[in-house]
Structure 1
Amino acid sequence: MLLAYIEQNLNSSLSKKIEHQVELIHYDYHIRTLKSEYFQHKPNEYQRQLMKQICQSKYEQETSEREYEFLKQQITYYNLPSQSFESSTITPTGEVTKRELIVRQTKRYQIQVAALTETKIPDSGVCV
């Protein structure tokens, strides 16, 4: 029984890692395409700075929205009547998963901001 539980969680973890890598490859392709299209228009320095500011603002907005949703969920969870100190069983794995999701999404937006503000298209080092 314990072995089956370990195998199931290991497979789930491995599957999530693979899905995450595939997602990163898709994002990388999308970023490169957008970047290529953007630089075909030959933006001047002012336009580049403006794009950088827009991307930074969008990144901050998305991060704030995700943090807000996460905190809202936490408040709802801890305000439930069943969450008293006597009956509380804290499961940090769920919280870690949500935080990891926020961190991953934040990193994706950072990559997008960096990709749109650079003048060269660097090799991302992502292997297919």
Structure 2
Amino acid sequence: MVNLITGPRGSGKTQQMIDLANEKVKTSSGNVVFIKKSHKDTYTVDFNIRAIRMADYPDILTLEEFVGFLYGMVAGNHDIETIFIDSVLKQANITLESLPVFLQKLNKISSENNIDFYLSIGADKNEISGIDSSDYNVIA
């Protein structure tokens, strides 16, 4: 399942994601991954969560490369149960216009590998097209 947390900048999405990740790792039988552009604001992420700083991978520049990165993570670790992607519009070249394509690709990864995704999106949910599908769970 692909879960979306939407809202304007400064509305507490990152902290909500961290709280969700910290709760998820307590009950998870698999691995929990938290992807963020930088390590800023992640000092409260549980030690058992794999935190990935995308700034460490500067050559991942496109949506396709980012999806390939996710497939590589999944291929290298079949125990991943949940992936959190904070500020998805700051990752690679993902924009509001390309977000529906990205969400479709995540939905495919999710269903093929039984992985839950949680994404924070710095936009109002009425600004995002294609999220009214039953494939997505809009949390906020």
Which has a greater percent of strand?
2
Normalization by structure 1: what TM-score? Answer: 0.26
Structure of greater Rg: 1
Higher RCO (CA 8 Å, separation ≥ 6 residues): 1
